[in-house]
Amino acid sequence: MLKIKKMEEIIRQFPNLTPIQIEQFEKLQALYEDWNSKINVISRKDIDELYTRHILHSLGIAKVQQFEKGTYILDVGTGGGFPGIPLAILFPETRFYLIDVIAKKIKVVNEVATALGLQNVKAEQMRAENVKGDFDFIVSRAVTNMPDFVSWVKDKIKKQNKHELKNGILYLKGGDLTKELEGFPKATEYNLSNYFKEDFFETKKVVHLPLKFKA
């Protein structure tokens, strides 16, 4: 019953989902419960709150920026596939490259993507510094502080902008970020509590930081 209620919230927030997308979102609970029993990629307490703490949280990025067809997204430190997998379901015509340094987590991501039939996801064990290629946006969920994160990815941004927000980082973070972002005057914070009413989102934010193309 709880899962149904949470799915209803996703459908309410994103009313244009196709039947295939709804089916893919519905499958996530059972898939992650199964893989989490074999390889612990999500804390035991969070698995019961998967739709709020992981799926809806990941989709917060889509409330700030919808991705155009042909967009290329890098997800750094994806863990079990967040935010990359939910975003890949929501934007089937956007390419996602999910990386993590822990091989067993990437195994779970690949198995989940295969089970869902996602054709737009590539996942590899990789350090961000070693990634080759240019991306429209780089997404992540609080893998480190912003200064370190920027140092990892600052040379991986496409030159051509095709979105309302300039190419750069879309980062899911929580709490007071004043000190962490003081060296980034162009950063913008978007409060997820403006979109989602659950208590979990009260202090959660998407941070957009535009980055310039570096040849």
Percent of the chain with pLDDT over 70: 97
- Cβ(123)–Cβ(98) below 8 Å: yes
**Does position 133 have pLDDT exceeding 50, yes or no?**
yes
DSSP 13-32: HSTT--HHHHHHHHHHHHHH
Please tell me the distance from the alpha carbon of residue 83 to that of residue 76, in angstroms, as a whole number.
Answer: 9
Give helix 2-13 / helix 57-64 axis angle, nearest 10°.
Answer: 10
Superfamily of the domain at 2-210 = Vaccinia Virus protein VP39 (3.40.50.150)
User: What pLDDT digit, counting tens, does each position of 165-211 carry?
Assistant: 999 999 999 999 999 999 999 999 999 999 999 999 999 999 999 99
| Strand 137-141 with 168-174, pairing | parallel
Mean pLDDT of 128-147: 93
Confidence (pLDDT) at 1:
46
For residues 85 and 118, is the Cβ–Cβ distance under 8 A? yes
3 vs 126: which has the higher pLDDT: 126
Note the pLDDT tens digit of each residue in 117-128.
Answer: 999 999 999 999
Mean pLDDT of the residues in the chain: 93
